[in-house]
A and B are shown apart, each in its own frame.
Chain A
Amino acid sequence: MNVLIVEDERSLSHEMEIYLTRQNYNCDVAFNGKSAAEKIHLNNYDFVLLDLGLPDMDGLDLLREARKKGSEATFIILTARGEVEDKITGLDLGADDYIPKPFSLAELQSRMQAILRRKHGLKTNIMSIQDFEIDIQNRTVICKGNSINLTKKEFDLLHYLALHKNRVLTRMQLTEHIWGDVLEDDYESNYIDVHVKNLRKKLSAQAPIEWFETVRGVGYRVNA
């Protein structure tokens, strides 16, 4: 997968590049709109991660221009501007997703995966962790032929952990994914623990789940 990171903040593009490269994406970086436009024109990217506040042009204009020239890349808008119209305009112009900064890199990756699944209909709609099968399409978990009744949040939690298997996900990352952009007056990581507790209870009733690990003081990890 080829990814172009369009971001003038070098430290930020650097971190994104490190993370995505680890996840086996081929990353290219552009620090301004002009070089981004050239790169999009010359290369075939699967993803363009687009910051809106570029030094030489508005990211939305870049998107408009790229679409006009026939680019079929998946555009994800990453912005800290927080303007209400940006999201609407961006999606109207054909961006596939809009993620306000700051976001966690795990969340970015899961959004990219979701778009791939939606756009290209990934063949593997079922993720397996030992005896458990997570059916992403139908949002069910099956163990030895038995369907396990999970709540929406419990399913999201398991799916997210499985998607980032073998990596610890902090409570904050999990909260961000489960609760999204809902602005609460505070976030209680305790809720995640309760969800995990309930989820484990339901899963362990079917089969052993030693793969579902608690990383003390940090969060949770699915080892597979």
Chain B
Amino acid sequence: MAIKNLFTGKPMTLQAKFTIYNTVSKALIILVFVAILPVIVEKIAYDHIDRRLTARGEKVLRIIQRGGIDDIVLEQDCSFESYSILKEEFVAIYPILKPSTKKPNIEIKNESWSIEGERLEHRIFRRQFTYDNQLYELNIGEGISNIEELKSTIQRFSLWIMLGIISISIFLDLGFVRLLLKPLNKIISSKLKPVPSPASFDFTSIPSSTFEFHKLDQRINEMMHKLKDAFQIEKEFITNVSHELQTPISIVQNRIENIIVEGNAPDDVVIRLTDSQRTLNRMSRIIKALLLMSKIENDQYIKTDVVKINELLEEVLEEVDDRLNQKNIRLYKNFYDDVELKPCNKALLFTLFSNLLNNAIKYNKQNGSITITTHQVNNKFTIEIRDTGIGIDQGEQVAIFDRFKRLNKNEAEGYGLGLPIVKTIAAFHNIDIDVTSDPEVGSVFTLSIN
């Protein structure tokens, strides 16, 4: 599962992840260290004490062996006890009647020892030995209250020192990560930002001593170079095709015009020339339409206009007003909401709506109606153009936006590029387009702007 920002739900930056990882991992190390530190301290302290006690025990036994027990056992009951002034250390020897079978001969353990009525925690070295057929028990003790103190002191100290070291280390890590990721951040900010076309891409290479970043930058540049070249080649191709096809049309078109103007041709020839002119015009329009779509797809149009949809619709309606009147079509405008589209290309959007409305008129019935509804629902702005025309068969609805699909087979002319143009312009502006239609009832074209 990807770690995402808890507050925004968006993916986090690499630097933020590094920071969190660093902090958490180091905090864990501190916790574990501080938790096991007392155990280690205790172990070391006991180790020391135990060795010390064992050595002392050996020493006492050596003294007894050398000088006899009478030298030190002065008491009536043959026992001996000696304390240091603070009762932190003591040596005690007691005669015992019979050896304990349960206890080992030598043992070291913690015990509460009563010295002159005061009970204190001690580490006790206990050993049994025989002297003159008498069994004795040697106890050498050392106070351990200071170990607890030592434990908490070391724990406190080490906690502060660790915190200090880790703070410095996190600080240094952050600086380093920041420095390390600088080229990557620069690649992201300058190479991965959206550009209107590959031509406006910034090809300046971003210096980095990190192999991966260097490679990444290099590859992005190479890819964009290829893309730029492809776009350029297509652009030149479009320009050339346009020039090569439109120029001959232009020549013939103008020649026909001159022949008609000169007035020497017989009437029937003029009529046929006029027809030829129409045919040429049709061809030219097809070329223009195809080139228009190619140019849009080639990102040759710039989006710098700001357009209010309702205002634009009014402008288009003014243009088609005569056509509406000619077919006596009633127009209903339900402009509930408006939206400002920016950046956009106004001329293209004009063509989009003009094509849709002209279709709504062209395929409408005499005395029919067109209803235009604009409204905002949640974050979506929709424009609905509903006509009372001949409609589109269910089977044909998917194909209406395809190039060169003529729907109304009875039409003598027409080449069905109006809707493909609409779709291309819509896609260029990230506008979704949808159609629903009932044959003989009418069609509804819905544009959704997110």
Contacts and interface: CB of A to CB of B under 8 A. Distances in A.
Interface size for chain B: under 10, 10 to 19, 20 to 34, or 35 or more residues?
Answer: 35 or more
Contacts of B351: 182-183
Interface string A55-99: 000000000000000000000000011111100000000000000
Interface string A100-131: 11111110000000000000000000000000
Contacts of B235: 83
Contacts of A211: none
A153 B275 CA distance: 24
A215 B289 CA distance: 31
A120 to B, nearest CB: 26
B255 interface: yes
B251 interface: yes
Nearest to B354: A182
Given A191-B326, A218-B270, A82 B238 contact: yes
Given A81-B243, A102-B250, A184-B285, 12 more contacts: A15-B251, A80-B246, A80-B247, A82-B291, A83-B239, A84-B300, A100-B288, A101-B246, A172-B277, A172-B281, A191-B322, A195-B322
Given A82-B238, A172-B274, A183-B288, A53 B243 contact: yes
A167 interface: yes
A184 B354 contact: yes
B277 A84 contact: no
A195 B414 CA distance: 21
Closest 10 CB pairs of A and B: A185-B418, A186-B414, A80-B246, A217-B271, A102-B250, A82-B242, A15-B254, A101-B250, A11-B251, A80-B243
B274 A217 contact: yes
Interface in B317-376: 318-319, 321-323, 326, 350-351, 354-355, 358-359, 362
A218 B274 CA distance: 6
A82 B322 contact: no
Contacts of A19: 254, 257-258, 261
Contact of A12 (B239, B251, B319, B416): B251
Contacts of A215: 270
A9 interface: yes
Contact of A191 (B250, B323, B411): B323
Contacts of B243: 53, 80-82
Interface in A196-220: 198, 215-219
Given A81-B239, A82-B238, A82-B295, A15 B258 contact: yes
B138 interface: no
Contacts of B319: 182
Nearest to A80: B246
Q: Among A9, A153, A154, A184, which residue has the most Cβ atoms of chain B within 10 A?
A: A184
A216 to B, nearest CB: 8
A82 B236 CA distance: 11
A183 to B, nearest CB: 6
B79 interface: no
B261 A12 contact: no
A12 B250 contact: yes
Contacts of A83: 235, 239, 300
Given A172-B281, A184-B355, A187-B285, A18 B258 contact: yes
Nearest to B319: A182
Contacts of A171: 274, 278
Nearest to B272: A217
A16 interface: yes
B284 interface: yes
Contacts of A170: 260, 274, 277-278
A194 interface: yes
Contacts of A144: none
B253 interface: yes
Given A12-B254, A187-B285, A102 B246 contact: yes
B363 to A, nearest CB: 11
A186 B302 CA distance: 26
B408 to A, nearest CB: 10
B419 interface: yes
B309 interface: no
Given A9-B247, A22-B261, A153-B322, A81 B253 contact: no
Contacts of B318: 152
A148 to B, nearest CB: 16
A12 B258 contact: no
A179 B319 CA distance: 9
A139 B190 CA distance: 54
B281 A185 contact: no
B401 to A, nearest CB: 12
Contacts of B260: 168, 170, 218
B301 interface: yes
Nearest to A189: B278
B250 A80 contact: yes
Nearest to B326: A194
A101 B247 contact: yes
A38 to B, nearest CB: 24
Contacts of A198: 326
B280 interface: yes
Nearest to B422: A185
Interface string A1-19: 0000000010110011011
Q: Among B249, B251, B413, B415, which residue has the most Cβ atoms of chain A within 10 A?
A: B251
Nearest to A18: B258
Contacts of A53: 243
Interface in A16-68: 16, 18-19, 22, 53
Interface string B252-267: 0111011011100001
